[in-house]
Structure 1
Amino acid sequence: MKILVTGGAGFIGSAVVRRAIREGHQIVNLDKLTYAGSLSNVAEVAGDPGYAFEKADICDRGAVDAILARHRPDAILHLAAESHVDRSIDGPAAFIQTNIVGTYTLLEAARAYWSGRGRPAAFRFHHVSTDEVYGSLGPEGRFTEATAYDPRSPYSASKASSDHLVRAWHETYGLPVVLTNCSNNYGPYHFPEKLIPVAILKALAGEPIPVYGDGGNVRDWLYVEDHAAALLLVLQRGRIGRSYNIGGDSEATNLQIVRRICAILDDKRPAGAPHDRLIAFVADRPGHDRRYAIDAARIRDELGWRPSLGLDEGLERTVQWFLDNETWWRALQARPGVGARLGTAG
């Protein structure tokens, strides 16, 4: 397939791009290169004859139309999004613009492109979303594809809005879409503003590791390479109009995650041990959802997908990757907001 990937220089997008090239697909990577995007994330495939890069904004209809006409992809895999909850609290406008207006613009461009080519049956528009659209769980239960939407942050509300737009374009115009909602990702090339890379880099620097509230917020953790495999599988084999939840079956509290990272670093960098002495509890994020958990039975039963890595092995690989790739993360330290506490405006 020739796949147009939006946001392919970001964390999850770049994992998809790298995997898709390895699987023999052709990739057109459309990315605006905002603060969280980096071409170093896809450097290993940059010279591949099946790879092309287009710097563009998904809100720019003319640019998107031109890219579609020039490359004539078989499918669109839409990952481009503003995704950090803390940043959405401080500045929601960018989330409304990219996640809602950008998705609308891309849908309209895709609809015109698909119709102009005679509505090929094989075309797919795959929209990638988050479990955060479902809101917050109590101590029991898991999100299914039938769970009612209940977003609690500007970020999750903007993603919920984009999900609704995608479904509406399918029902109203017949655009062949599939949707996925994933749990928290982690792994190589994770931009250093989210919990796991922050914990690793703060520990390496001997600085306080911030943990929000009491550290009891629960997330289901999914290794990014497993997510990339699932996305490509849904793109090719998912049922049109269907949504699929993708989870790692690895629930843990934020405090448990940080303590596991500290234990791994105690082994790999014993000079700084014990690293858990650096844990520092800080004021909680406004509107912080307490628990997320994914029921991934549909993608398992219908498409045969399961995560290949458990949390312990995934975290060990992730910590080792950051230890081995200091040049990559050092280059990002001066970008806006990195290393600073965000999301306190509420």
Structure 2
Amino acid sequence: MQRILVTGGAGFIGSAVVRRLVGKGRHVVTLDKLTYAGNLSSLKAVAASPNHRFVQGDIADRALVSNLLREERIEAVMHLAAESHVDRSIDGPAEFVQTNVVGTCGLLDAALEYWRELDMPRREAFRFHHVSTDEVFGDLPFDGSPFSEETPYAPRSPYAASKAASDHFVRAWHATYGFPIVLSNCANNYGPYQFPEKLIPLAVLNALEGKAIPIYGSGLNIRDWIYIDDHAAALEAVLTRGSVGTSYNVGARQERTNLAVVEAICERLDAKVPRGDGRSYSELIAMVADRPGHDRRYAIEPTRIERELGWRPEVGFARGLEMTVDWYLDNQWWWAPIRSGKNAGERVGFG
């Protein structure tokens, strides 16, 4: 699979995938609508590569997608384009339905038509990789077993419901048309180039600016955290070695409460850039009213991907968080324009 279409490739996870694939010599076409969370600066490292082409456009634009597939002789699609912020889905669910459900169906239609035109060897080699989230499984009790691939779907936010619907449509295209799909559902990602409304970058940047660091409720909601480069490696493994029709859960077994994550961020900042008054950044932590339907815990059981594909995360949470904090300290060029924009940092974002 040397010619790959990546949708949402200017986003946080998508850009990490693009950088990885191009770095390995694959020809990548990035299709991104460049909504608020899409950022061409995240693709700066591959912008001049002859193996990368960027196209601004909507996955729901059937003609555009069909032309790209044919022009570029695409051998695989990695579908990461999505609206992904829970708070935004609560405020405006229709946009999430349009992008995550309607957009995915349009992309599937175009890809199915293209796949049917291929000769048999290329048809057999083709893959459509749909990238999803652990949030489709819903609320996990603090003492419950981690989500497995067999866990029933029980989404509790408009965002999670829209992703669950898109997962079902992808599976339906495989069952109904024989379309060669693979799926993955991942834990919370963190690392460089993450949009500053999400937990870790928001905490880092608010702290640097001396602003309150808001945490929902008691701060005891638990998430499984995976470093972005580990997730990108897992996605490549699923695309290239995953079994057709199979879903893979991607997790790092690194569960932390939101409060513990923010406290660790503050400790790192205290060590790297102490406040002028000698006080800890942790004094900026502020508990705020919980959001509706806030899931208590997400945890992923990654045994299948470990056993079948030989993937395992390489970056532990403590080291990954240090690298992430340090990246934001060293790369103001990337985040400062976003923070100065209208849509940045306006929401709590502590999923």
Q: C-alpha deviations, 1:229-270, integer Å up to 9, x for none?
A: 100111000000000000121000000000000000000011
Q: 1:60-99 counterparts in 2 under 5 A? A: 60-99=61-100
Q: 1:296 aligns with which of 286, 298, 302?
A: 302
Q: Could you say what secondary structure the match of 1:332 adopts?
A: helix
| Residue identity opposite 1:3 in structure 2 | I
Q: Which residues of structure 1 form unaligned runs of 5+?
A: none
Q: 1:136 aligns with which of 136, 139, 143?
A: 139
When normalised by structure 2's length, the TM-score is: 0.96
Q: 2:261 aligns with which of 230, 253, 257?
A: 257
Kept in 2: contact 1:114–1:123 (CA 8 A): yes
Among the aligned pairs, what percent are the same residue? 60
Where has structure 1 moved over 4 Å in runs of 4 or more? none
Q: C-alpha deviations, 1:259-314, integer Å up to 9, x for none?
A: 00000000001135411000000011111000000000000000111110111000
Q: Could you say what secondary structure the match of 1:27 adopts?
A: strand
Partner of 1:280: 286
Q: 2:198 aligns with which of 188, 194, 197?
A: 194
Q: C-alpha deviations, 1:164-211, integer Å up to 9, x for none?
A: 000000000000000000000000000000111110001111111000
Partner of 1:7: 8
State how far apart, in whole Å, the 1-side matches of 2:309 and 2:199 are.
31
Matched, 1:308 2:326: no
| Residue identity opposite 1:274 in structure 2 | S
Kept in 2: contact 1:35–1:336 (CA 8 A): no
Q: 1:1-346 counterparts in 2 under 5 A? A: 1-118=2-119, 120-140=123-143, 141-271=145-275, 273-341=279-347
| Residue identity opposite 1:259 in structure 2 | E
| Residue identity opposite 1:228 in structure 2 | A
Kept in 1: contact 2:198–2:348 (CA 8 A): no
Single out whichever of 115-124 and 16-25 deviates more from structure 2: 115-124
